[in-house]
Amino acid sequence: MNQQKGRMTFISLLITIILVYGGFAAFKYLRSYFAKKDLNKEVHDTLGVVRGGGFTGDKAEEVINGILRKGGFTPIEVSVQMAEGTITYHYKFELTTDYLFFKNRETVDVSEQMDTYGAF
């Protein structure tokens, strides 16, 4: 070890590259995780704002599709069922994460229910 005097060996270079790539992959993974959470929250909040009198299932589907496209996601399926006092919405979208050496495609399926007001 005394003979190296600050020089980098091949193994230390390899370990450094692996650590840097691991940090990059962790950053991309966390970014996609938080993007899914933010999207779910944005859909729920937006539907909470636009619901009310004159609100229809078609309008809810348009709102969800607009949010998905604005976020850069590919919508696969969007459906909204409205019953007295509740809105049940379901949507699927495709999320692609680029990890530099490979891409991870994931289909995210969300189904939630919220209370509403107004006559249906």
pLDDT, tens digit (0-9, with 9 covering 90-100), for 69-84? 998 888 999 999 988 8
CA dihedral 17, 23, 25, 27 (to 10 degrees): -150
Show pLDDT as tens, one digit a residue, over the chain (120 residues).
566 666 778 898 999 999 999 999 999 999 999 999 999 999 999 998 888 777 888 899 999 999 999 988 889 999 999 888 888 999 999 999 999 899 999 999 999 998 877 655
Q: How many domains does the chain have?
A: 1
Q: How far apart are CA 95 and CA 75, in angstroms?
A: 9
Q: What is the 3-state secondary structure (H, E, C) of 44-78?
A: HHHHHHHCCCCCCHHHHHHHHHHHHHHCCCEEEEE
Which CATH number do you get for residue 29? 3.10.450
Is residue 19, in this structure, part of any structural domain at all? yes
93 close to 114: Cβ distance less than 8 angstroms: no
Residue 63 CA, chain-centre distance (Å), reads 16
Is residue 103, in this structure, part of any structural domain at all? yes
Is residue 25, in this structure, part of any structural domain at all? yes
Is residue 120, in this structure, part of any structural domain at all? no
Whole-structure pTM value: 0.77
